[in-house]
Structure 1
């Protein structure tokens, strides 16, 4: 596995100099300052390469931009409304500029409206650290009582709806505002000033778009862009839904192994692959992560390795982001499956036999607690996770264990 690190650009609190000290070999980044749907120019792509390649003092960093995460799919494309056809053409032009710069792996997602959802961005841990948490009861309190979405109560069990009502009744205005801010952090263009009417407007855009319709739109998108990716030697890899179940009445189409199998078979190409995110997929107890790596590993182009601890065995339940080796996902078994897949690729002579991975998310510990970094992306917590994962990888790749 090639060990990489997600970097959000020059404004990231973790500098390129910091990343060097983590031991990561490559960078996962994107042009986050550009609006969704516009062309990534060759000049903008080159600038990001240069920023990654230099230390603060101007000397070479030794790091390379290895994975694009992400080249966003616009909401217009997902809904097939507005300028969606022009956005697809822009997407293909961006892929060309990305490929011409030497990049081969492009991660993206097809989540409607919400890129990710948590109810607490800094949940206190017993050890004094903090992490991100999704609480289904708090989310239901937001959905049913704060947002007031029509018919929301029917989307939850009676027990959850009742508990949501009790929690809402106990909230003061500040707590309601904080919950709203946390939930809407995953909305495009979200900020502390986003109104509830803004949220309702986003949701209204999906009125009449069923899960089957969204899935069909996804296939249309892939049929349009995958041939371009094939010609360019680019491997597209879709990130799963986070969390992997429907929220706010929105359809989800990338939450399970069956979802991935459908999409990978619908447009069968080496350029159409998956990002195996053990954290997102691990939220559902019915997702077998080591088995998914074994069965779909041929199309896994990128790995997000993080862990979660579930509160229950419910498909739609609460969870928090645990230590990388300390959650409900059997991370050692997942990594062992990756090592076996890389061995198969080497024997087959595949040029992409080494799969890029990054330590996804992390707990805020030590100096992270005062930095207030991008939620889920503390420097020390991720470095700890990378060190733990690196130890497992080194052991499983050891020749004497017979996995190579």
Structure 2
């Protein structure tokens, strides 16, 4: 089911290998999608709620009675929760909040560079954020937690959530999404999906939704395209593409566990990526053999089979774990599992991954829900330069500069010389005139 890419012996033969391109990514043309969503976003900016109603009818096949979800609907969704589901939600919230509070750490620094010369850094929460929660192939109530909790811990004063209306729920978002919002105390929730939700947040809609300063959260290609289009008018967290898992494993790994983890992420989307990088041909064969039974037994078998059979998924055979480490660092997976005899030490060699899951008892599914870590992570190789959504995503670092007369005098000549070197004499004069008679 998974195609084989055999790198063994190729490096020793002197063949140049670009590990970043060993496994191709699924086609995800955001640039083309931008032109699709541009008129939608422009229309929401121009016509507000009227445009939202038209796009809701066109794309979601239902128009909510109210785009803003009534408070009683949030309370009812929470009250209707199965006790076990509620317990799972609450524990996930507790763990994510505990980790977020640790991420917050020191909220500012202050450095004295010379007597009377002080530079401080203040961490200021974003004023207002719009958090998008997908509702397509799966109602991702876990994404409510991953977006809302770090925003709350950061001190964001105004939080709004948007999720697509569901025809089977009378035009409201999925009940589990509403229930988590209620548990978290989020009262501003909108039954709006897709690019039009991003436009609503970015532009604001009179008498409905004030504009926000930051939009976060994953979505389909049109949500991603709208975020790209409107970046600058509003800040965004990232452009999240199809989900992906890479597993770096040796002969010690359990093929049943490895297979289950690959299937779990392939379940997300037909273009999800599942990649096994291993130095063990025996493990690779065992995983291939195990896939048939596990895929056939899972609910979304067709979706999983399509994802595993796509060009974006593969088994990569390597000479040894050092080459395997180079491959996964080049690939820069959203989720990276390490199932090797030296998993802890091997994890220390990883420089590019959205999140690293160490050892046989740390599956990606744990991180999706209850590990305490974030599951809003960089995709498409962006883990080589970007981080997952966390408390710092909702904070602005602002320098505060305080110099006395004596402290400025001490450095004044340096400023004047620097300004002259850049042919900006007025910059230097702004300092020198303070000391002229």
TM-score range, shorter chain: under 0.3
Larger radius of gyration: 2
TM-score normalised per structure 1: 0.25
Of structures 1 and 2, the one scoring higher in RCO (CA 8 A, sep 6+) is 2
